[in-house]
Structure 1
Amino acid sequence: MSERVIEPKSRGFLFLDSHPGGCAALVDEMWHAVPAPDRADDGDRPVALIIGSSAGYGLAATIAGLARAGIRGIGVCFEKAPGRRTGTAGWYRTAATARLARLHGQDMVFLNGDAFSDTMKEQVADLLTERFGGRLDHLVYSVAAPRRTDPDTGRVHASVLKPVGAPHTTKTLVFDESGAPEVKEVTTAPAEGDDVEQTVAVMGGTDWERWITFLADRSLLADGFTTAALSYIGSPLTAAIYRQGTIGAAKSHLEATARTLDERLAKTVGGRAVTSVNAAAVTQSSTAIPGIALYVGLLRGVLGDALVPPIGQLVSLWDQLTGASPLALDDEGRVRLDTWELDPAVQDAVAERWSAATSESVTALADLDWFGDEVRRLYGFSVPGVDYTAPVEADVPWPSHTA
């Protein structure tokens, strides 16, 4: 693909193309937002596996792990290569992350494929054995997917975003063709049939546990191994569609899996398994959830720059996983990185704005300029310092595995 000017063309919150230069600049911006480690590099860098390494909180986990915890290891993601259209944003972010890792002398391999498959698990296990001394210190699991093929049965499970028990009507934020914001009501039909079971099969803890079992059977888990699966609870304003809905059932299964794994790892390698409850953010996954766009815009309107971005949250998680700071757990054994969001005063202020939000008032109540920029940044647009009028090469290769 020859160089060309790439413009931000979208359908709703979904962009048709991604900007390679903007994605690279965003990764660089995130890397430089990470505080320098407060400990000396003794040369024995921890080996980590990040599953879901190219987007959202998984990308933040990868960059914070490299820049803060000094990790080396493997990132797994599923991205589309450049072709008739540009590559996916995650393709370009991965290339940029690999470049920065090399620049800082860190051996980070990125694999593109189905994280749910046993083929990928075999490939990761072989790399850990051959390239990283047969040792894995940390695993961060951050997978959001619409479907999963069960490796044992071949059955394809599909996740859905639905309330449980009854239809749910909520406010949601959309933008018309001219870009003007509209606050509308949308009603989502309740889960039916095996919707809950299928969503749990995709988004619950089954695959996370399968990864741990697979790697443990290959004797790859180091003494003191820690693993965290990233989760979300969220506001009462979004609970019916999220925490009390089908996705919430999957998150509850994820947390139950963490408790089972924690007991098992404590006995076998003196390790730990936790869920990390992260706070709200604009991600490609979250913008698909009814009401979340409006909620996050209002949250930013209340908090301004006090809203903690994913990279800041994941710095805290890595400090806890590596022992740089104590592992702080709630009564359910979860790391809570969302306390600033769920502070009662913050939630009361957001709820007041939520009630008052209309198409006419939302611009004054929510930070829509920030929200719009955050959505565009997911695809490499609205990143400071990038000349979007200049032609750019979209045919960026996947990072080489060569050491």
Structure 2
Amino acid sequence: MNERVIAPKNRGFLFLDSHPAGCRKLVDAMWRAVPAGLPGGEGPVALVIGSSAGYGLAATVAGLARAGIRGIGVCFEKAPGRRTGTAGWYRTAATAELAREHGRDMVFLNGDAFSDAMKDQVADLLKRRYGRLDHLIYSVAAPRRTDPDTGTTYASVLKPIGAPYTTKTLTFDAGTGPQVTEVETAPARDDDIEQTTAVMGGADWERWIAHLADRDLLADGFTTAALSYIGSPLTAGIYRQGTIGAAKAHLEATARTLDERLGKLLGGRALTSVNGAAVTQSSTAIPGIALYVGLLRGVLGQDMVPPIDQLTGLWDQLTGTRPLTLDDEGRLRLDLWELAPAVQEAVAGRWNRATTETIAGLADLDWFHAEVQRLYGFAVPGVDYTAPVDTDIPWPNPDA
């Protein structure tokens, strides 16, 4: 046991330590926010790739609490050592504990989801413990990917395409408080688009499906969804029209290919699920997103739909509790609340007026700042941050 007081230490939006008790309480709150679903017992078999953070964590918790899933979560987290474990380490331990308490058979594997070794480990565990897979949720945001066939390592970048991109952005400095500034990002060059697409596009998702299909591990009617984002015209220059947008377009093209293949093979479906805006460890790294999300919250207040509610809706649609809500391109849309014209018009008006002097009256800065801290288990109501806490939380079910 290694008990100590953990204070938040950060560099911008990046925190150096995580708080186990705060992470545990956050996951518990997510579970309690899900409307009651299936009782404990045999639910559908599911695999969530990227199960420890953001939309993937919400998909895992909502799947367990609402759809009664059993199966496997895959993520890549750092164990406690000189510093605390990563927040995802503690969130995974908390999710596993809640799953056990509610009679859900869920195993979590820690490692590189891009590797064939992890795909083999998952396939072996499925065959031994669960049988065929009913659902696969793909939610991976990573800076690098090594291609198992060639050994080439690709790196993703956040860059516009064609010309430099200048946008307003929001920063929090302990000395000066919230600042609205402008930042310019140089355009993609050389093979930046191809590299980013190789990491964040559909290649690995397709490889997972092929790997499991080759082992005869996909059930009849199998469905898979890759989680994605479109976002506002205000952020399109760096996001949807940038290198990440090119990768998302590849992801959507992959969905169409997989949908046709799975339909013929199993009567199954492949979809991209377009989610609404949220504060995540990935999104805070994108220029302009912090300002946009703070302003969006300022417009919507409590009507902003959190990830756990969005992903509860996804499971209802995947399991047939509700009909699929698809757009003309076959994408499942969970972001319509965000992109409603009246909402976007109001956010755009605030964006145009946003300066360091005016931002406090336009954006919900207290909420945004607390949300960033909660990504690491801080600023969680009901947690005594002056009390020592055990940081040596073990990984769940290591024998699996």
TM-score range (shorter-chain normalised) is: over 0.9
Match status 1:330 vs 2:324: no
CA offset at residue 8 of structure 1? 0.6
Aligned residue number for residue 20 of structure 1? 20
Which residues of structure 2 form unaligned runs of 5+? none
CA distance in 2 between partners of 1:200 and 1:42 (Å): 40
Q: Do 2:42 and 2:68's aligned partners in 1 also have CA atoms closer than 8 Å?
A: no
Q: Equivalent residue of 2:337, what SS?
A: coil
CA distance in 2 between partners of 1:270 and 1:42 (Å): 28
Match status 1:31 vs 2:31: yes
- Percentage identity across paired residues of the two chains: 79
CA distance in 2 between partners of 1:271 and 1:302 (Å): 39
The equivalences for 1:39-118 within 5 A come to 41=39, 43-118=41-116
1:356–1:178 distance in 2 versus 1, CA, 3 Å: same
Give the letter aligned to residue 71 of structure 2: G
Q: Do 2:275 and 2:335's aligned partners in 1 also have CA atoms closer than 8 Å?
A: yes
CA distance in 1 between partners of 2:324 and 2:229 (Å): 18
The equivalences for 1:118-157 within 5 A come to 118-132=116-130, 134-157=131-154
Aligned residue number for residue 162 of structure 1? 159
CA offset at residue 88 of structure 1? 0.2
CA distance in 2 between partners of 1:108 and 1:91 (Å): 15
Q: Equivalent residue of 1:162, what SS?
A: coil
1:179–1:7 distance in 2 versus 1, CA, 3 Å: farther
Deviations 1:214-236 (A, max 9, x none): 00000000001000000000000
Q: Do 2:226 and 2:272's aligned partners in 1 also have CA atoms closer than 8 Å?
A: yes
Task: Find 2:190's aligned residue among 193, 211, 215.
Answer: 193
Q: Equivalent residue of 1:262, what SS?
A: helix
> Under a length normalisation based on structure 1, what TM-score does the superposition of the two structures give?
0.98
CA offset at residue 179 of structure 1? 5.8
The equivalences for 1:4-403 within 5 A come to 4-37=4-37, 41=39, 43-132=41-130, 134-178=131-175, 180-402=177-399
CA offset at residue 328 of structure 1? 1.6
Which residues of structure 1 form unaligned runs of 5+? none
CA distance in 1 between partners of 2:273 and 2:176 (Å): 35
CA distance in 2 between partners of 1:80 and 1:43 (Å): 31
The count of aligned residue pairs is 400
CA distance in 2 between partners of 1:401 and 1:70 (Å): 22
CA distance in 2 between partners of 1:124 and 1:145 (Å): 20
Which stretch shifts more, 203-212 or 43-52?
Answer: 43-52
CA distance in 2 between partners of 1:32 and 1:236 (Å): 34
CA distance in 2 between partners of 1:179 and 1:299 (Å): 23
> Under a length normalisation based on structure 2, what TM-score does the superposition of the two structures give?
0.99
Deviations 1:258-312 (A, max 9, x none): 0000000000011000000001000000000000000000000000000000000
Q: Do 2:134 and 2:218's aligned partners in 1 also have CA atoms closer than 8 Å?
A: yes
Q: Do 2:41 and 2:103's aligned partners in 1 also have CA atoms closer than 8 Å?
A: no
1:211–1:179 distance in 2 versus 1, CA, 3 Å: farther
Give the letter aligned to residue 99 of structure 1: E
Give the letter aligned to residue 53 of structure 1: S
Give the letter aligned to residue 358 of structure 1: T
Deviations 1:233-267 (A, max 9, x none): 00000000000000000000000000000000000
CA offset at residue 2 of structure 1? 2.0
CA offset at residue 384 of structure 1? 1.0
Deviations 1:346-383 (A, max 9, x none): 00000000000000100110000000000000000011
Give the letter aligned to residue 142 of structure 2: A
CA offset at residue 87 of structure 1? 0.3
Q: Equivalent residue of 2:182, what SS?
A: strand
Which stretch shifts more, 384-393 or 170-179?
Answer: 170-179
Give the letter aligned to residue 246 of structure 2: A
CA distance in 2 between partners of 1:8 and 1:368 (Å): 18
CA distance in 2 between partners of 1:92 and 1:324 (Å): 31
CA distance in 2 between partners of 1:273 and 1:59 (Å): 20
1:23–1:224 distance in 2 versus 1, CA, 3 Å: same
CA offset at residue 402 of structure 1? 4.8
Give the letter aligned to residue 135 of structure 1: R
1:43–1:5 distance in 2 versus 1, CA, 3 Å: closer
CA offset at residue 80 of structure 1? 0.2
1:154–1:92 distance in 2 versus 1, CA, 3 Å: same
Q: Equivalent residue of 1:340, what SS?
A: helix
Deviations 1:187-209 (A, max 9, x none): 00000000000000000000000
